[in-house]
Amino acid sequence: MKYIWGLLLLALMACESNSAQNTSNFSTLAVAEFKQQLEKTKNVQLLDVRTPGEYMEEHLENALNIDYNDPNFADQLNNLDKNKPTFIYCLSGGRSNNAMNTMKAKGFKEVYNMKGGILEWKGSQFPLTKNVFNGWKGMTKEAFEKITQNSTPTLVDFRAKWCGPCKQLKPILDELAKEYAGKLNVVEIDIDENKSLADDMHITNIPLLVYYKDGKVAMNIEGFTEKKDIIAALKLQ
C-alpha cells in the first residue's frame, strides 16, 4: 500500500511540475504568424531591440525601443511587465533571439520573437511607422509615457555622451538601480539620440533627473548630485 501511495505522490508531483513548466511560453514565429498573433493578443508589449537610430527611421506601430547592445539592456527590461505577452523584433532576428533568452532568464512569462526581423516584415509589405516624415527624432512621446506611467517610481536620467557630469553621475545611478531594484526604475535618455522628445519637454540643461511617481512628475534634480543627496531627495528607503 505504501508503494502505491508513493507512486501516486510521484505522479502528482510530475503533473504539478509539468503544469508549472507550461505557464511560460517562448516562441520564434514567422513574420505572418507573428503579425497575426500580435493582432489577436490583448494588452501586449511590443519591443524593438535595435539601436535608437534604426528605430528612428522606421519601426512597428506602438513599439517601445530598448537597445539590446546597451550595457543596461537587462536592467531596462525591469520597466516592462513580465506577466504581459511581449512581442520582440530587431533587424534580422539575431538580437531579438538573444533578447528573448535574456527575458526568459529574468522571469518573463510569454515572449514572441519575430523570425527574420523587420527585413522580413518589410519584405511582406506590412506597415511601418516612420518618424522622419514629420521630423521627429528618436523615442516617441507615446513610448516615453509607457516608461513613466508605471506603478513603480521611475527616475529618468536625461544625458548625453559628451557630458562630463553625466559620466560622473552614471555609476551612482547604476548603484541606485541595483540597490533599489523593484522599488525604483532608472532609465537613461540620450538627448542627442532623442532630440525631439528633449525639445518637446524643454530640456536645456543636463544632467537632469526627472522623478516620476504614479505616472506624474514629482521632482527634478539638475546637475551632478551626490548619491546620498539623491536618496534624501527621493526619500528612498
The 10s digit of each residue's pLDDT in 135-146 is 566 788 888 988
Residue 190 dihedral angles phi and psi, to the nearest 5° = -80, 120
Distance CA 75, CA 184 (A): 11
Give the pLDDT band (50/70/90) at residue 40. Answer: very high
Residue 5 has pLDDT above 90, yes or no: no
**CB atoms inside a 10 Å sphere around CB 55:** 26
Residue with the larger pLDDT of the pair 199 and 113: 113
15 is annotated as an active-site residue:
no
Residue with the larger pLDDT of the pair 8 and 109: 109
CATH number, domain 24-134: 3.40.250.10
Torsion angle of the four alpha carbons 86, 87, 90, 96, in this order, in degrees rounded to the nearest 10: 60
Q: Partners of 209 in the beta sheet?
A: 157, 221
Distance CA 26, CA 33 (A): 14
**Parts of the chain belonging to CATH 3.40.250.10:** 24-134
Q: What is the mean pLDDT of the chain?
A: 86
The helices-and-strands tally (H runs, E runs) of the chain is 10, 9
Reported as a single tens digit per residue, the pLDDT across 64-119 is 999 998 988 999 999 899 999 999 999 889 899 999 999 999 999 999 999 999 98
Q: Are 34 and 87 in contact (CB under 8 A)?
A: yes
Residues whose CB falls within 8 Å of the CB of residue 18, separated by 6 or more in sequence, listed in order = none
90 is annotated as an active-site residue:
no
Query: Which cell numbers hold the place of 2?
Result: 505504501
Residue 26 has pLDDT above 90, yes or no: yes
Give the pLDDT band (50/70/90) at residue 23. Answer: low
Residue 203 has pLDDT above 50, yes or no: yes
**Parts of the chain belonging to CATH 3.40.30.10:** 151-234
Q: Are 104 and 96 in contact (CB under 8 A)?
A: no
Catalytic residue among 163, 176, 201, 210: 163
Q: What is the model's pLDDT at position 191? A: 87
Residue with the larger pLDDT of the pair 3 and 32: 32
Query: Which cell numbers hold the place of 168?
Result: 560622473
CATH number, domain 151-234: 3.40.30.10
Residue 18 has pLDDT above 70, yes or no: no
Q: Are 96 and 113 in contact (CB under 8 A)?
A: yes
**CB atoms inside a 10 Å sphere around CB 72:** 17
Q: Are 152 and 211 in contact (CB under 8 A)?
A: no
Exposure on the CB side of residue 122, measured as CA atoms within 13 A? 12
Residue 16 has pLDDT above 70, yes or no: no
Q: What is the model's pLDDT at position 29? A: 97
Q: What is the model's pLDDT at position 136? A: 62
Q: Could you give the percent of the chain with pLDDT greater than 90? A: 57
H-helix segments, the chain: 2-21, 31-40, 52-57, 73-76, 94-105, 117-123, 141-148, 164-179, 195-200, 227-234
Query: Which cell numbers hold the place of 121?
Result: 516584415
Residue 22 has pLDDT above 50, yes or no: no
Catalytic residue among 166, 173, 198, 208: 166
Q: What is the model's pLDDT at position 188? A: 93
